[in-house]
Amino acid sequence: MAYYQRRGFLDSLTVVTKNLLIINIIIWAACNLIKGLYVYLALFNIGSGYFNIYQLVSYMFTHIEFNHLFFNMFALFMFGSTIESYWGQKRFLIYYMVTGIGAGLIQLLTLYIQGVYAPIPTIGASGAIFGLLLAFGMLFPNTPLYIMFIPIPIKAKYMVIGYGLIEFFFGIANAGSDNVAHFAHLGGMLFGIILILYWRRGYNYYHGNSFFSKLNFLKYFKGRISKTKRKETDWDFNARKAKEEREINSILEKIKLSGYNSLTEAEKLKLFEFGKKSK
């Protein structure tokens, strides 16, 4: 007897994205229940005397105001599962942590250049979230996205550029007076693009649909990769096949639940390529 099993909200999320959401919510609740807890988790500038190295990790999971948590987690919910499905759990987690830590480093550098020595706490996942936005724009550049209060869809690549320019403008104009770490947001995007380009250079992650793919230095990287491509080992082959199988199963499950039209352009292309290989 066939039956349909209803899926819950958390079941629709990928593993790493789901756990990141849960951790952020738990720490937000703890910070509101335990007075002063956020002081131990926030990132403080080096000259303040309150800086500890672990803060580069703890700060990105720390929120106090609900609005701050909500908008960061909403963006993680919107982009996280899609990127994680494309990259896999390990690569997605590495990217999230690197962009979050990178954003923290840029924030420390900014405060140092500004000559700020008074203890200023920095909290929130915004740096890593801007890194995810950058990744989505590079992986799915032509996907239409909607911004609140703007009824016209905007392609992901233009949204990334727009957000980057806005953050740079406000970072220069306000210089920290609005209590928003604009250069930390830019730092998440900066470390994100560096990491993606490194992966594409070292592991042949070149993608022709990327809006960065026509830049000359990426073409140079592609040529270098083709000349130095190493022989695939049995372990690499099996790992690649297992990953392809997981991705195809995920796409087929999505078609089963929501229909073919629910697939993204990248998912349709992957399914098409898999069909050609199977013939």
pLDDT at 1 over 50: no
Q: Any idea what DSSP says for residue 232?
A: P
pLDDT band at 273; cut points 50, 70, 90: confident
Query: Within 10 Å of residue 21's Cβ, how many Cβ atoms?
Result: 18
Which one has a higher pLDDT value, 264 or 274?
264
Which residue has tokens 């999230």? 96
Q: Name the residue with higher pLDDT: 60 or 120.
A: 60
pLDDT above 80: residue 143: yes
Model pLDDT, residue 47: 82
* Structure confidence by residue, pLDDT tens digits, 211-225: 444 444 445 445 554
Q: What is the pLDDT of residue 14?
A: 92
Predicted local confidence at residue 6, as pLDDT: 44
Strand partners, 150: 147
pLDDT at residue 248 is higher than 90: no
| Helix-helix angle 89-113:15-33, to 10 degrees | 40
DSSP 5: P
Average pLDDT estimate for 66-75? 94
CB neighbourhood size of 103 (10 A): 34
Domains, in order of start, for the chain: 10-228 (1.20.1540.10), 234-278 (no CATH)
What mean pLDDT is predicted for residues 127-156?
Answer: 85
Evaluate whether 186 touches 164 at the Cβ level (below 8 Å): yes
CB-side neighbour CA atoms (13 Å) of 239: 7
- pLDDT digit string (tens) for 115-141? 888 888 999 999 999 999 999 999 988
Is residue 14 a contact partner of residue 80, using CB atoms and an 8 Å limit? yes
The model's confidence at residue 177, banded by pLDDT at 50, 70 and 90, is low
pLDDT for residue 175: 60
Please answer whether residues 12 and 60 qualify as being in contact, where contact means their C-beta atoms are separated by less than 8 angstroms.
Answer: no
| Closest to 145 in 3D by CA, of 137, 153, 157 | 153
Query: Could you read off the pLDDT of 21-30 as tens digits, one per residue?
Result: 999 999 999 9
The answer to whether residue 179 scores a pLDDT higher than 80 is: no
At 213, is the secondary structure helix, strand, or coil? coil
Res. 206 pLDDT band, cuts 50 70 90: very low
DSSP-assigned letters across all residues of 41-79? HSEE-GGGT---TTHHHHGGG---SHHHHHHHHHHHHHH
